[in-house]
Amino acid sequence: MFASDISSSRRRFLKGAGASVCALSIFPKKLRANHTKVSKGEAYSVLVDLTRCIACRACSRVCVKANGLDPADDGSNVSPQHCETLAYNKWSTVNVENVPEPMHKSLAVGVKRQCMHCLEPACVSVCPVGAFSQTEKGPVIYRSQRCIGCRYCMIACPFEIPKFNWHSGFTPVVGKCQFCAQNRLFKGLPPACVEACPTGALKFGSREKLLFEAKVRVKANPKKYIKHIYGENEIGGTSWLYLSGIPFEKLGFKSNLPTSPIPSFTWEVVSRIPIIIAALSGLFGMVAFSLKKHIKDQDDLPKAGAS
Amino acid sequence: MKLLGWIFLIGVVTIFFWAACAVAFGRYTQTVKRLCRYTLRIFWLVSLGVLILRFGKGLGAISAMSDKFPWGVWIGLLQSGVALAAGGFVTAATVHIFHIRRFEVILRPMVLTAFLGYLFVAMTLFVEVGRPQRLWHPLVMWQHTSIMFEVAWCVTLYITVLMIEFSPVIFEHLDMPKVVKAIHYGAIPIVIVGVILSTLHQSSMGSMFLVMPEKIYPLWFSPLLPVFFLISAVAVGLCTAIIESFFSHKLFGRSLEIPLLQSLAAAAQIVLLVYFGLKMVDISMRKEWQSMWTVPWLGVSFGIELFGCVLLPIILFSIPAVRLHVRGLVFTSFLVGGGIILNRINVSWFSLIPYTHTTYFPTWMELCVSLFFVTLTVVAFGLAAHHLPVFPKAGGKIPPQTSSEPNLN
């Protein structure tokens, strides 16, 4: 009789626990943490107008110099066929994308790539040691002193920007564009690449102003530009904004990005952890001790508790 | 060199597999044993060489991982290791929280398995992480929004809990009954802490992938990933208990309680059924069934994982011919275990291939490192089972002392 009591209370517990876990996990969460302390309008920003880029790679070269990097490819090869790739010691690249046109000619467009400096960056939120951080004015910077080399940032970054030094045994680092935050922005200078650009394809300013200017440019010249400012809404907005005359997906930009920031996906889970701990310890504690008491009461019957 | 490496690795795996089969079918003769030992020694020497290369020349020298594919096969295997270690917390909860005492006979081996499983994870992390000398950083440099931070804490705390849970065995061996008794009093709180840590950790293994909604193939990406990882881990934990009881019976001559294995199988069946149902509902709700066909080989992989290794075991466990025979139970459990490993590899490796447009395939050295750690774990288990009172004497209750174990070989 007692045995059936115990097993039925066990069963009741399992049902209750299952239901509450389901409720905890399915119940929608209204609170969404705003991870950023950066105001969207005032963030430092760069507008890249791809229609003005002549692929001279001045930005690539000056980036290497300004940040003291020593990549195998320093950007001095300006042939359009040459392909630059981002690496831990190469933070900015320009590649010429050939876009096939319907009229049997192809259009060559220079595309600069570097960290997009998301307003709500995935890398900052996923790094277990806080090696990535976002400064108050938006630039997302990496400090190697904390890095353990887990490469979660590389997996999490929607633009696949952080790169890793695969050839160091104990001291590999991750590398990505720092927005020249420490060596230039804090001194009131624009990023090195912006300063080096001879055609005005890059423009530095506050995000609000640049967004406005981008919209003005698109409106003034609707034939030249497509009606999409890349970075305005992608994963909650980025500090680097792109204008183009050709749809972005044809230039190798990710076109399937969600508009909600990446950190919100895990925050859904992380924010529930305290309540899960509390609920589980309460439930298990109750069951364990109450069943123990039941069993103690019938200690004389050694195998009755097992059913 | 590359070809030689692969031939060597495949040879080693074949010999170990053959030895495992020999054990399973009761043909583990002295010759097999000796061959196994020599292979192991050579294999360990080669693996140590690979490890020296890794720490001398970096990850790029031994692995096929690259900037385009920064997480390789190690992550999948590491996650499988975590899942296979779930038997520890499932059994501990059964015995100490639900007080189903007849499972006490498998408690110690399962806790040992969990402990060694987590050691496997820690060893893999030590090689996988770029700067292993800084593995303690997450414990000091808090970053609470990171799932990886949660994982680091859970692994550390849970290894500690497992050590405490396993320590009575060592104290019994050292003949210190007072300490054993003291730990026994604290058993329930310790087990509860362990269960909570496991719940968090198993599910956070899935939460890790929530940050790449656009990268993971839609068959696998789901907001419910943490729930799936937790449920499947519970199922595979029950199945490892079956497998392990069988092998310890064969190797160490332990008595085999078939009714116990059958209840484990019945529990696993229910958990698998819940998992299967949730998975079905999830994919139907997200309307992603057509993804089975858009990338056919991923569809096949998904089919094997879900229908071959979840649905099939559910059916097999309910067929009397399978359920009543040890080999049937063990075979089905292997199916479930294999399915979980495939699932973890699918999520962390295969599902990323269409997005990244790169084909990552591990080098033989990567697999060599993993197999090295697996063999270390297995050998450690064997040594512990041989020298410590891990298994109860034939008949049931855990023996009070370690002495007089006649059929221990």
Which residue in B305, B376, B348 sits closest to B78, CA to CA?
B348
What is the CB neighbour count within 10 angstroms for residue B66?
A: 16
| Same domain for B194 and B46 | no
| Same domain for B249 and B197 | yes
Q: Average pLDDT of B226-252?
A: 90
Whole-angstrom distance, CA of residue A228 vs CA of residue A287: 58
Domain that holds residue B48: 1-57
Q: Average pLDDT of A79-106?
A: 84
Q: Is residue B222 part of a domain?
A: yes
User: A164 to each of A129, A228, A233, B53, B347, how far by Cα in Å?
Assistant: 17, 32, 28, 18, 22
A158 at interface of B, judged by CB pairs closer than 8 A: yes
Q: Is residue B408 part of a domain?
A: no
User: Nearest by CB to A270, which of B66, B147, B227?
Assistant: B147
| Same domain for B141 and B9 | no
Which chain B residue has its CA at the smallest distance from A281's CA? Answer: B192
> For residue range A110-164, what is the model confidence (pLDDT) as tens digits?
999 999 999 999 999 999 999 999 998 899 999 999 999 999 999 999 999 999 9
Q: Average pLDDT of A23-27?
A: 54
Percent of chain B residues past pLDDT 70, beyond the cut: 96
| Inter-chain touch B99–A292, beta carbons under 8 Å | yes
Q: How far is B142 from chain A (nearest CA, A)?
A: 6
A292 at interface of B, judged by CB pairs closer than 8 A: yes
| Structural domain boundaries in chain A | 44-263, 272-307
**Secondary structure percentages of chain A, helix, strand, coil, to 5:** 35, 15, 50
Phi and psi torsions of B221, nearest 5° = -75, 130
| Same domain for B139 and B184 | yes
Going by DSSP bridges, is the β-strand pair A163-164/A202-206 parallel, antiparallel, or unpaired? unpaired
How does residue B406 score in pLDDT terms, banded at 50, 70 and 90? very low
Q: Which amino acid is at A183?
A: N
Q: What is the CATH number of the domain that holds B86?
A: 1.20.1630.10
What integer best gives the mean pLDDT of chain B?
Answer: 89
Whole-angstrom distance, CA of residue A287 vs CA of residue A176: 51
- Where residue B231 falls (left for φ over 0; alpha for ψ -120 to 50; beta otherwise) is alpha
Reduced to 3 states (helix: H, G, I; strand: E, B; else coil), residue B14 is helix
Residue B54: Cβ-neighbour burial (10 angstroms; 0-12, 13-18, 19+): buried
A170 at interface of B, judged by CB pairs closer than 8 A: yes
Q: Is the pLDDT of residue B259 over 60?
A: yes
Quote the longest CA-to-CA distance of chain B. Answer: 63
- pLDDT at A19 (0 to 100): 62
> For residue range A39-58, what is the model confidence (pLDDT) as tens digits?
777 899 999 999 999 889 99
Handedness of CA B39, B45, B48, B53 (dihedral sign): negative
Residue B227: Cβ-neighbour burial (10 angstroms; 0-12, 13-18, 19+): buried
| Same domain for B373 and B334 | yes
Which residue in A177, A172, A137 sits closest to A43, CA to CA?
A137
Q: Average pLDDT of B64-82?
A: 92
Residue A91, both tokens:
């933070």
Residue A16, both tokens:
């209750």
Domain-terminating residue out of B14, B29, B57: B57
CB B127 within 8 A of CB B94: no
User: Nearest by CB to A169, which of B55, B214, B215?
Assistant: B55
- pLDDT at A28 (0 to 100): 47
| Same domain for B2 and B147 | no
Residue B302, both tokens:
């998904």
| Same domain for B26 and B134 | no
Whole-angstrom distance, CA of residue A1 vs CA of residue B236: 33
| Inter-chain touch A126–B147, beta carbons under 8 Å | yes
Q: Which residues in chain B are closer than 8 Å to A164, comparing Cβ atoms? A: 59, 67, 70, 130
Q: How far is A196 from chain B (nearest CA, A)?
A: 28
Q: Is the pLDDT of residue A3 over 60?
A: no
- Nearest-Å Rg of the Cα atoms of chain A is 27
How does residue A263 score in pLDDT terms, banded at 50, 70 and 90? confident
Which residue in B335, B376, B307, B299 sits closest to B119, CA to CA?
B376
Q: Is the pLDDT of residue B405 over 50?
A: no
Whole-angstrom distance, CA of residue B363 vs CA of residue B353: 17
Q: Which residues in chain A are closer than 8 Å to B188, comparing Cβ atoms? A: 285, 288-289, 292
User: Nearest by CB to B188, which of A85, A156, A289?
Assistant: A289
Q: Is residue B393 part of a domain?
A: no
> For residue range A182-224, what is the model confidence (pLDDT) as tens digits?
889 988 899 999 999 999 999 999 999 999 999 999 999 988 8
Residue B239, both tokens:
């199945």
Q: How far is A34 from chain B (nearest CA, A)?
A: 11
CB A154 within 8 A of CB A122: no
Q: Which residues in chain B are closer than 8 Å to A134, comparing Cβ atoms? A: none
Whole-angstrom distance, CA of residue B230 vs CA of residue B218: 19
The DSSP letter of residue B186 is: T
Residue whose structure tokens are 């994308």? A97
Whole-angstrom distance, CA of residue A158 vs CA of residue B35: 50
Whole-angstrom distance, CA of residue A304 vs CA of residue B19: 41
The DSSP letter of residue A87 is: B
Residue A103, both tokens:
């009229």
Q: Is residue B369 part of a domain?
A: yes
CB B59 within 8 A of CB B112: no
| Same domain for B130 and B20 | no
Q: Which amino acid is at A89?
A: N
Residue A18: Cβ-neighbour burial (10 angstroms; 0-12, 13-18, 19+): exposed
Q: Is the pLDDT of residue B247 over 90?
A: no
Residue B85, both tokens:
């270690």
| Inter-chain touch B58–A295, beta carbons under 8 Å | no
Residue B187, both tokens:
């058993």
Number of domains in chain B: 2
Which residue in B51, B204, B46, B41 sits closest to B126, CA to CA?
B51
Going by DSSP bridges, is the β-strand pair A132-134/A163-164 parallel, antiparallel, or unpaired? unpaired
The DSSP letter of residue A41 is: T
Q: Is the pLDDT of residue A301 over 70?
A: no
User: A10 to each of A238, A302, B189, how far by Cα in Å?
Assistant: 52, 19, 18
Q: Is the pLDDT of residue A33 over 70?
A: no
**CA B140 to chain CA mean position, Å:** 28
| Inter-chain touch A129–B143, beta carbons under 8 Å | yes
* HSE of B27, CA atoms in CB hemisphere, 13 A: 7
Whole-angstrom distance, CA of residue B299 vs CA of residue B288: 11
Reduced to 3 states (helix: H, G, I; strand: E, B; else coil), residue A164 is strand
**How many helices (DSSP H) and strands (DSSP E) are in chain A?**
8, 9
Whole-angstrom distance, CA of residue A152 vs CA of residue A158: 12
Q: Is residue B400 part of a domain?
A: no
| Same domain for B79 and B6 | no
The DSSP letter of residue B309 is: I
CB A95 within 8 A of CB A84: yes
Whole-angstrom distance, CA of residue B177 vs CA of residue B169: 10
Residue whose structure tokens are 């698998």? B272
A286 at interface of B, judged by CB pairs closer than 8 A: no
Percent of chain B residues past pLDDT 90, beyond the cut: 61
Q: Is the pLDDT of residue B236 over 80?
A: yes
Q: Is residue B394 part of a domain?
A: no
| Same domain for B176 and B38 | no
Q: Which residues in chain A are closer than 8 Å to B193, comparing Cβ atoms? A: 281
Domain A44-263, architecture per CATH: 2-Layer Sandwich (3.30)
ipTM: 0.87
CB B52 within 8 A of CB B35: no
